[in-house]
Amino acid sequence: MKRNEALAPGMTVGLLGGSFNPAHEGHLHLTRMCLRALALDRIWWLVSPQNPLKSASGMAPLATRMKDAEELVARSGDPRIVVTNIETRLGTRFTIDTIRALKARHPDIRFVWLMGADNMLQLPRWAKWRDLTREIAMAIYPRPGFTLNARLSPAATMLKGVTLDQSDAALLAHAAPPALVFLEGPEHPASATSIRAARGES
């Protein structure tokens, strides 16, 4: 375990998975929003070696994506945000396997899965996604053009009975999964796709 990944028993930790190709201000925005709304002690950025649902074409090397994310977090000055390649070290490819491995390694930590409204729409494409909802509580943050549809998505419909009100968001980390909350707040326009396009990258 890396030193900055050290956790104390009882901590609440948000997990933000993604390619971070590249990491950008939008990631920081949602991280800050989730730290505050969910009353989390830490948020880990899980920089994925390769998202199974994304093409490897145009994907920067993991070391490059890690370095860019670490530099962005360092500039933020917030020690609660940790950039990690732990999925590579665990040897996990799917989110369900990562969560189970982390829970086994840290049985005294309360983990919360963080994801954008755009990913909520894709959740049924994830490996064993129904099992995933039973493994970890989830918080959905708004994304331009996706927020309303995410609230009406098949996954949201399935989890309607275990969805907390925004006013109870700080209780999510202590709720037994399945549990879901849709966060509210200002949307950030940045996206990795648009950044790569502006750079002339695929």
Q: What CATH code is carried by the domain that includes residue 105?
A: 3.40.50.620
Q: In what order do the strands lie in the sheet with 42-47?
A: 81-84, 42-47, 12-18, 110-116, 137-141, 180-182, 163-164
At residue 72, what is the residue type? L
Structural domain tally of the chain? 1
Residue 141 lies in a domain: yes
| pLDDT of 192 | 63
Residue 125 lies in a domain: yes
Model-wide pTM > 0.85 = yes
| pLDDT of 180 | 98
| pLDDT of 189 | 80
Residue 130 lies in a domain: yes
3-state per-residue secondary structure call for the chain? CCHHHCCCCCCEEEEEEECCCCCCHHHHHHHHHHHHHHCCCEEEEEECCCCCCCCCCCCCCHHHHHHHHHHHHHHHCCCCEEEECHHHHHCCCCHHHHHHHHHHHCCCCEEEEEEEHHHHHHHHHCCCHHHHHHHCEEEEECCCCCHHHHHCCHHHHHCHHHEECHHHHHHHHHCCCCCEEECCCCCCCCCHHHHHHHCCCC
Residue 18 lies in a domain: yes
C-alpha–C-alpha distance, residues 73 and 118, integer Å: 23
Q: Judge if the upstream peptide bond of residue 178 is cis by omega within 30 degrees of 0.
A: yes
Give residue 95's domain range: 10-198
Residue 2 lies in a domain: no
| pLDDT of 53 | 64
Residue 81 lies in a domain: yes
| pLDDT of 188 | 84
Each residue's pLDDT, cut to its tens digit, for the chain (202 residues) gives 666 788 999 999 999 999 999 999 999 999 999 999 999 999 999 999 877 767 667 799 999 999 999 999 999 999 999 999 999 999 999 999 999 999 999 999 999 999 999 999 999 999 999 999 999 999 999 999 999 999 999 999 999 999 999 999 999 999 999 999 999 999 888 676 666 556 666 5
| pLDDT of 198 | 62
Residue 3 lies in a domain: no
Residue 100 lies in a domain: yes
